[in-house]
A and B are shown apart, each in its own frame.
Chain A
Amino acid sequence: MKDKLKILLNGMFKENPVLILALGCCSVLAVSVSVSGGFGMGVALTFVLVCSNVVISLLRNIIPSKVRIPCYIVVIATFVTLVEMLMEAYLKSLYDSLGVFLSLIVVNCIVLGRAEMFASKHSVADSFFDGLGMGIGYTMVIVGMSAVRELFGSGTLLGYRIIPEGYQLGILTQAPGGFFLFGCAMAILVAAMAKRGKKFEPKMGCDGNCAACHSACDDRKEAEAK
């Protein structure tokens, strides 16, 4: 049980997909303008991530390694389509506000990244908790950023007006404000981890096991050069 909890917390803090691994930033920057939208996006992504992780983990011994990426995409796209149809039917306003970013979960680096890095190598239960942890980590970041951007950018929180009209920092609702906040959030997490005495080594989600990995990252090139 303890190692399951570790996997869960790993996705939330130590390997937070957005702030540490820097994956899936596109949707975080684009959708984090309102808390409701951000939360909806987080839940949708968590659902897709958990389901695709479980299914890919189940099929990990069946999928031939040469065609694994198309197979992952098919699995992921299935769940994204499910979420999309359900949301269009029952949460039309959220569906409209998320727009294209909902369909783009298919190519979200977090989902594909966890399929490649984790689910294809670990048991079903572990993959479930990894997906859940990563999803919660993503949701925490996007909701936190949405809260700041909505509160100071539009003066509202969940649609309720908190700061009176005319005292907003409009730039926060625009792209530059999103990037700025994103940088600050990254810096705060890294600083907090450094303060707790943890040595900060940004890992790209791999276990340093280059033999089992197919990507050509910088670390690998370095290792091969030696």
Chain B
Amino acid sequence: MNELTVSVSPHLRSGRTTRKIMLDVLIALSPALIASVVIFGWRCLLLTGVSAAMCVACEFVWEKLMRQPVTVTDLSAVVTGVLLAFNVPSTMPVWELLVGDVVAIICVKMLFGGIGCNFVNPALVGRVVMFFSFTADMTNFPAPEGTIDALSSATPLALIREGSIGWSEFGQIFIGVHGGVLGETCAAALILGGLYLCVRKVIKPIIPLAYVGSCMLFSWIFGSSQPVIAAFSGGLLLGAIFMATDYVTSPTTNLGKLIFGLGCGLLTAMMRTFASSAGAVTFSILLMNLVVPYINDLTAPKPFGGVETK
């Protein structure tokens, strides 16, 4: 009798769950974490751990209070916490980081409906709030630990502005021995993480490539003296690989992703050239996050055999 089983689509399921994807992201973030511990010391590990724990705790408490199903096991809060910790300097007081965690999880994620419903990247809003509230602590970049011939604690972007940086320092910038926030300094580790994500097909490389490439191009057009070095310093790689590629707040189609990446690159280059370099990546991604619904609408593919409406 039961020869025909009728079920609703989707009929093909890959065994991939949110939890597995988030685990892959965490694995991809681990080289940058190790690099930060090597460069800035053990406090990085403390900050990252506390931040991740706080994000999970916020989500758990909120869901318990609102009598919603508890979703902390999907690890997305852990990723938010780690990314947020990656955005602060290693000297950041812990309580200030906790404020950022609460804003990211409660205000941006849970108030808008939890995972999949946030309208912008939670970690980036947490960073903006910390940046405007604790500006001094957020921009106090410590010099790398135990390195004598390291670059001074000024960030490479500031040095590029002064014009006192050249290709001879590129090696140091690439391995991350310079001032900056936890996760952004080591370009090599971030690229390694990005490659892992691409190989595991967690992200498509379109957004990071379009973002970094267009940022280089536009920086060059706007007259930056070192567009390539600028692309490897500051939060650009961290943002391009791990923040701009967030599923919820980036376009779904390939063309949309390309537009999104180009937009981010243009905005970042403009802000870095004509305004302050601090926060350029953050604000670019947040602004582009906000237009993602429109990009999605404009790049929606025509269904096979479908007729153009309107």
Contacts and interface: CB of A to CB of B under 8 A. Distances in A.
Judged by DSSP, the binding face of A is: helix
Report, as a range, how many residues of chain A touch the other chain: 10 to 19
Interface string A149-161: 0000000000000
Interface stretch (A7-15, A127-135, A168-176, A212-220): A168-176
Interface residues of B, number: 9
A176 B132 contact: yes
Contacts of B95: 167
A171 B132 contact: yes
A180 interface: yes
Interface in B174-223: none
A168 B107 contact: no
19 contacts: A167-B95, A168-B133, A169-B99, A169-B129, A169-B133, A170-B132, A170-B133, A170-B134, A170-B135, A171-B128, A171-B129, A171-B132, A171-B133, A172-B133, A174-B132, A176-B128, A176-B132, A177-B132, A180-B107
Interface of A: 167-172, 174, 176-177, 180
A169 B130 CA distance: 8
Contacts of A176: 128, 132
Interface of B: 95, 99, 107, 128-129, 132-135
Contacts of B128: 171, 176
Nearest to B130: A171
Contacts of B107: 180
Contacts of A168: 133
Given A169-B99, A170-B132, 6 more contacts: A169-B129, A170-B134, A170-B135, A176-B128, A177-B132, A180-B107
Among A167, A170, A174, find the residue whose CB has the most chain B CB atoms closer than 10 A.
A170
Nearest to B95: A167
Nearest to B93: A166
